[in-house]
Each structure stands twice: as structure tokens, then as C-alpha cells.
């Protein structure tokens, strides 16, 4: 014990407190001042808010009594020492005066607050000096872990636990680990620590050594660190490299997880790296020979192969006939049908199919295959199956402006021109007559085996109604018709559902001098009938003026004589303009006669 304490004890032992209390022995002013000075030097002032060290003098069921060398002993709740179950009398502890005097006059201390103040001092110091501290991982939290450092709860981000991604955070709970204090927020009393920083420091030397020795073509051992949809990251011992998905296997794969798994050890080859050697491109498939080099030399065009559909597109399917060896089956080689469809109509990914090799280029590593070649070409023996004049039923597959394509069987299509659809109807577009998918009776009109072309007709399956019309609508016969349309050159007249006639403008005049209008139903006389061009020319005026008919015939004959040479080689029907020209010629002749 110090000299001050000895003097204090000596003074207290010699002083007569009874006489002083009874007023018998008044104390000397000098002695009293000496005592106060001793107290000031010896006892801690309870008015100062600072952390002091005390000694445990007694432990009860609820409290810990601590002597801090003050005027009285202090009390601390035993709960504040839960972290230290081995606490015993005589231990030194850091305390802070919490309440200078409670209701009973007792000095109340706080060990917890003292620890916090001291802990902040130590944390700040560790942050400034880079000191490595120990921390206890208490639990998981969003984004990382909670770590007890000197009694302060610090945050350990998930990204700062290790240099490699962490998949099981629970393995770190209740463990004591070393950390570096990397960030402190004094305003919010937040502390961030890192274990990764310690590891990075340890592997930095190893990393520089590895980078310095990197060479293209070098084979290294690594560990799968992370798997993404586009590739796999490999830890080469502190240095990361990427194996792109296309460099994992000679075969097509949908995801790298089909080939590798996390933490798997494997050998890889360095394909390339940047100038700083921070972006390293690795390969796995390059450790094995290219499958095309191992392809059997006996495999040739025309051979049959079996393979699995690995990629599907509208234009065709890629078939893997051997690991890493693919051939393309174009959609045109999937069926003999000339109506191209999508490849999805024939196969799907994962299907195993048989095919024939159509082309094989070992240098460019390309192969084309066909499926339809496994079946007989339907054009073989076409003349026996579909001779000219034979009648068949097909399915309408497609329209064009000039006709329709009818499929007689898969691979055998024929064209029906729009003019061969009906004997009587004037069809502007095939959709007015049939629908795609309809069945249609046809007759083979022409067959070109070399060009693989088939010309068909539909109207030829029916009798030509104009054979009957020739007698019924002979020149001079009179029929009742309805004006359906007025045009510049005349009018169209409907005699029946499938018989139309044309009336030139001059022949629309009625007996009262007025012109016929659309919708008028009246009698007409046939003044021309042409079976070859399916043309009927009629006149209403001729029904009451016989000379009109004669004049028309005379003008028609004269015009025909002048155009025999040019029309003998032309089978096209006369236009409405031709008829109008005849009318003009007739008028000039009548004028000249007068």
C-alpha cells in the first residue's frame, strides 16, 4: 500500500471520532485540512465520468460489489458479466459510474458501459493502425453476419467473408475469427469488419507469382469458383480465369452446370489474357482432340447416320451424329413436299433421327444431312400414277394471283390456273372459288417430269356448259335478261346464273329513245355467239329494229375480213374496245350511204 494510504490509515486510527462527535475534542484546523488532502489524493471523484479500474470484492446472486477506491463501494448487476461466467473475487474490471447515489445512498456502477467506451477506443485504434482483431460471429443477418468485437456488434458483409463466394453462411456462426476493421461510422456508431482482407493480403504474393508465369497454352490446375449462364470462373490460386460456355465442351450444352459443379478441381488450358493479365480466358475442351479429327475416315456421302437433335430453327435442325460433330438437316430435306414448312413440324430437340449424308467437308468441318432420302421419291413412276387426262382429288395448299397449288400426295403438287377453275364464272382471285385446305377434283392437263411440274384443271372435271349454250343462245334468239352493270362501252346482262352477255352502248336504246339502266329486266336478241371465247353479244334495240341487227352483222364481217391475217395467230378473245370500233365503223358506213 502506498505512503498516502498508510498516512490515511494512521490518521483514522489515532483520531477520536467519539469525542469529536460529542464536541469534547475540537479538531485542529490543520489536521482537518491534512485529512481532506489525503482523501482527495486517495479517493476517486464520483463526479467525473471516466472509465476506472475496480476490484471485485464480493459476488451475490444478483450483484457484483466492486471497490473502485471511492468513498464507498459500487454495485454492478451480475447480468453485465454474462459473457464472463468465470468472474471471481479479486478480478479487476473496468467500470463507469452510472448513478452517484441511489435511494439507499449506494454508488451504482456499469461494467457494460465501460466496456463499450473502451471497445470504441480499441476499435478506432485498430482501424487506424490496421491491427488484426478477434471477433465472435454471433448470427446471420441480411447481407452478411453480426460479429462481436470487443463487445461491440460489428457488421461483416457476405462479400467480405472470403475471396470465394460463400454458399453456406451458417458454417461461420459461433466461430471466433480474425478480422480487420475496414470502416467506422461515428455518427451512427457502425463498424464494418472484413475477413477477406486478411486472405487477400496472404494471396497477393502468390497471385503476382502466378501472373508472372502465365503463358498461352499453359495447363494449370484450378477449382470451380462460380458458375454463370455464360461460363465458369476458375480459381487458379488467387487468380481468376473464365471458361466461356463455348470452350467447355465440343458438344453443345445449354448451361455450364451440365459439365461442371462448384468446388470441382480440374485442369484447364490458358487460351488468352490481356496485357495486365487480369482477364484470363481459359479452355477445357481444348485439352481433348477435336471430334472432327477423330471422325471415321470410312464415313462418306450417301451413308446413313443416327443422331440427336440439339438445335432447332425454322430453316432446319442440327443433328449431333457424334460428340462434337453436327450436321444440318435443312427443312427442304425433311420432306418431298414442295410446300416448305417449319422444321418444328417434323422434329423436336432431343429426338433421335436417322438421316443420310448429303455433303461432307472435313476441312471446313461441315456436314449436311437429309431425312426425305430415306423414303422413295414420289416423282419416280409419276407418268404411271398421274398420266395426262387422269382424274384425281387433291388438297388446296396455297394461292397465287394466277391460280392455286393442289397437293395430290406429299411431294406431288400441281398448279390449277385461274382460267381452269370454272367454265362460266369470272374469277378475279382463287379465294373467291375455294379455301386453303379444301378438297378439289382435278384432271391432269400437262406433265413435265424433268422440270417436276404438273398442270391441272378443275373445270375439265365438269361438262362444258357452252356446248349447251351454243344451241340455246344461237344468233337471232331472244332472251329476257337483267342489266347488272353499266360500263363506258356498254352494259353487262345476266341471262341466267352462269350466262352473261354484253350489250354495246348503241344497243341499249329503248323504243322510246331512252337508255336502259342498271336493274332493268327486258328482252334482248343475240347478235353474236362465240363458243371459243365464251362471248355473247346481245341487243335490245334489235328486238324492235331489224335493220340494226343487219348493220351490226355487215360491220362485223367487214372488220373481220380486214383483220384475218393478224387474228389467225392470236386466240385471245375480242375486247369491248373491238366491239366499239365495229359500232363506229357501222356509223361511218351509214353516214356514207346517206
Write out pLDDT tens, residues 193-211: 998 888 877 777 777 777 7
Q: Which three cell numbers stand for residue 397?
A: 395448299
The pLDDT, as a whole number, for residue 242 is 94
**Between the CA of residue 240 and those of 124, 138, 213, 227, what are the distances in Å?**
34, 31, 14, 13
Between 315 and 3, the more confident residue is 315
Write out pLDDT tens, residues 55-67: 999 999 888 898 8
Report d(CA 434, CA 419) in Å as an integer. 14
Q: Which of 386-400, 479-493, 519-533, 575-589 is predicted least confidently? A: 575-589
The pLDDT, as a whole number, for residue 418 is 92
User: How confident is the model over 3-23, as a mean pLDDT?
Assistant: 57
Write out pLDDT tens, residues 257-314: 988 998 899 999 999 888 776 788 999 998 888 888 878 888 889 899 999 998 888 8
CATH class entry, domain 130-199: mainly beta
| For the chain, domain boundaries | 3-114, 130-199, 213-287, 291-374, 382-461, 466-562+575-593
Write out pLDDT tens, residues 537-567: 999 999 888 655 555 555 555 444 443 333 3
The pLDDT, as a whole number, for residue 395 is 93
The pLDDT, as a whole number, for residue 579 is 45
Contact 174, 137 (CB under 8 A): yes
Judged against a pLDDT cut of 70, whether residue 35 lies above it is answered with no
Write out pLDDT tens, residues 418-458: 989 988 777 889 988 999 999 999 999 999 888 888 999 99
Q: Which CATH number fits domain 291-374: 2.60.40.10, 2.40.50.140, 3.30.420.40, 1.10.1060.10?
A: 2.40.50.140
The pLDDT, as a whole number, for residue 26 is 57
Report d(CA 503, CA 479) in Å as an integer. 13
Architecture of domain 382-461: Beta Barrel (2.40)
For residue 71, count CB atoms less than 10 angstroms from its CB and return exposed for 0-12, middle for 13-18, buried for 19 or more.
Answer: exposed
Examine domains 130-199 and 291-374 and report if their fold is the same: yes
How sure is the predictor about 99, in pLDDT bands with cuts at 50, 70 and 90? low
* β-sheet bridge partners, residue 89: none
The fold of 466-562+575-593 is: OB fold (Dihydrolipoamide Acetyltransferase, E2P) (2.40.50)
- Look over the chain and give the mean of its residue pLDDT values, rounded to a whole number: 81
Between 106 and 66, the more confident residue is 66
Report d(CA 358, CA 305) in Å as an integer. 11
Write out pLDDT tens, residues 115-165: 778 888 888 888 888 888 888 999 998 889 999 888 788 999 988 888 777
For residue 55, count CB atoms less than 10 angstroms from its CB and return exposed for 0-12, middle for 13-18, buried for 19 or more.
Answer: middle
The pLDDT, as a whole number, for residue 164 is 73
Between 579 and 506, the more confident residue is 506
The pLDDT, as a whole number, for residue 417 is 94
Distance of CA 92 to the CA centre of its chain: 67
Distance of CA 259 to the CA centre of its chain: 22
Q: Which CATH number fits domain 213-287: 2.40.50.140, 3.40.50.2300, 3.40.140.10, 3.90.245.10?
A: 2.40.50.140
Host H or E run for residue 361 = strand 352-361
In CATH, 3-114 is 3.40.1260.10: no
Distance of CA 175 to the CA centre of its chain: 43
How sure is the predictor about 585, in pLDDT bands with cuts at 50, 70 and 90? very low
How sure is the predictor about 78, in pLDDT bands with cuts at 50, 70 and 90? confident
User: How confident is the model over 176-189, as a mean pLDDT?
Assistant: 86
User: How confident is the model over 383-400, as a mean pLDDT?
Assistant: 91
Host H or E run for residue 202 = helix 196-212
DSSP 515: B
Percent of the chain predicted with pLDDT > 90: 28
The pLDDT, as a whole number, for residue 102 is 56
User: How confident is the model over 522-551, as a mean pLDDT?
Assistant: 83
Best CA proximity match to 379, nearest among 338, 418, 421: 338
Amino acid at each position: 500500500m502506498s505512503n498516502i494510504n498508510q498516512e490515511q490509515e494512521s490518521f483514522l486510527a489515532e483520531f477520536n471520532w467519539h469525542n469529536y462527535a460529542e464536541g469534547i475534542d475540537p479538531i485542529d484546523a490543520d489536521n482537518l485540512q491534512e485529512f481532506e488532502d489525503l482523501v482527495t489524493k486517495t479517493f476517486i471523484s464520483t463526479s467525473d465520468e471516466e472509465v476506472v479500474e475496480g476490484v471485485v470484492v464480493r459476488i451475490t446472486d444478483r450483484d457484483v460489489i466492486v471497490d473502485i477506491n471511492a468513498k464507498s463501494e459500487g454495485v454492478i448487476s451480475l447480468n453485465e458479466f454474462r459473457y464472463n461466467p468465470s468472474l471471481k473475487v479479486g478480478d479487476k474490471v473496468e467500470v463507469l459510474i452510472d448513478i452517484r447515489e441511489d435511494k439507499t445512498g449506494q454508488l451504482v456502477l456499469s461494467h457494460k458501459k465501460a466496456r463499450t467506451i473502451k471497445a470504441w477506443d480499441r476499435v478506432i485504434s485498430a482501424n487506424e493502425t490496421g491491427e488484426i482483431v478477434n471477433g465472435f460471429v454471433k448470427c446471420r443477418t441480411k447481407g452478411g453476419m453480426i460479429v462481436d468485437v470487443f463487445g461491440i456488434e460489428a457488421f461483416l458483409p457476405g462479400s467480405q467473408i472470403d475471396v470465394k463466394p460463400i454458399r453456406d453462411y451458417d458454417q461461420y456462426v459461433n466461430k471466433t475469427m480474425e478480422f480487420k476493421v475496414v470502416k467506422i461510422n461515428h455518427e451512427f456508431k457502425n463498424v464494418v469488419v472484413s475477413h477477406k482482407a486478411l486472405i487477400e493480403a496472404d494471396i497477393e504474393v502468390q497471385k503476382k507469382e502466378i501472373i508472372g508465369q502465365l503463358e498461352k497454352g499453359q495447363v494449370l490446375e484450378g477449382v470451380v469458383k462460380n458458375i454463370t449462364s455464360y461460363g465458369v470462373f476458375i480459381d487458379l490460386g488467387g487468380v481468376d480465369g473464365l471458361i466461356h460456355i463455348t470452350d467447355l465442351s465440343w458438344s453443345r450444352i445449354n448451361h455450364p452446370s451440365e459439365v461442371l459443379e462448384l468446388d470441382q478441381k480440374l485442369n484447364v488450358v490458358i487460351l488468352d489474357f490481356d496485357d495486365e493479365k487480369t482477364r484470363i480466358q481459359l479452355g477445357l475442351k481444348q485439352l481433348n482432340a477435336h471430334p472432327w479429327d477423330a471422325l471415321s475416315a470410312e464415313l462418306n456421302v450417301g451413308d446413313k447416320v443416327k443422331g440427336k437433335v440439339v438445335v432447332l430453327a425454322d430453316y432446319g435442325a442440327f443433328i449431333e451424329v457424334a460428340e462434337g460433330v453436327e450436321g444440318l438437316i435443312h427443312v427442304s430435306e425433311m420432306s418431298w413436299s414442295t410446300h416448305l414448312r417449319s422444321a418444328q413440324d417434323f422434329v423436336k430437340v432431343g429426338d433421335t433421327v436417322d438421316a443420310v449424308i448429303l455433303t461432307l467437308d472435313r476441312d471446313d468441318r461441315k456436314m449436311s444431312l437429309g431425312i426425305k432420302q430415306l423414303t422413295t421419291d414420289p416423282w419416280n413412276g409419276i407418268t404411271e400414277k398421274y398420266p395426262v387426262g387422269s382424274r384425281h382429288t387433291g388438297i388446296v395448299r396455297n394461292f397465287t394471283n394466277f391460280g392455286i397449288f393442289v397437293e395430290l400426295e406429299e411431294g406431288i403438287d400441281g398448279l390449277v390456273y385461274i382460267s381452269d377453275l370454272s367454265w362460266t364464272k369470272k374469277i378475279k382471285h382463287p379465294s373467291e372459288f375455294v379455301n386453303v385446305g379444301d378438297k378439289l377434283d382435278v384432271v391432269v392437263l400437262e406433265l413435265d417430269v424433268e422440270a417436276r411440274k404438273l398442270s391441272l384443271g378443275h373445270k375439265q372435271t365438269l361438262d362444258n356448259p357452252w356446248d349447251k349454250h351454243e344451241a340455246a343462245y344461237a344468233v337471232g334468239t331472244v332472251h329476257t335478261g337483267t342489266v347488272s352493270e353499266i360500263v363506258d362501252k356498254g352494259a353487262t346482262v345476266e341471262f341466267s346464273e352462269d350466262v352473261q352477255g354484253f350489250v354495246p352502248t348503241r344497243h341499249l336504246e329503248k323504243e322510246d329513245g331512252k337508255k336502259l339502266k342498271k336493274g332493268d329486266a327486258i328482252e334482248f336478241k343475240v347478235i353474236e355467239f362465240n363458243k371459243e371465247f365464251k362471248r355473247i353479244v346481245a341487243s335490245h334495240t334489235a328486238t324492235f329494229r331489224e335493220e340494226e341487227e343487219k348493220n351490226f352483222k355487215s360491220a362485223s364481217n367487214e372488220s373481220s375480213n380486214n383483220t384475218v391475217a393478224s387474228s389467225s395467230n392470236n386466240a385471245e378473245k375480242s375486247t369491248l374496245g373491238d366491239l366499239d370500233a365495229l359500232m363506229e365503223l357501222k356509223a361511218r358506213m351509214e353516214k356514207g350511204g346517206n
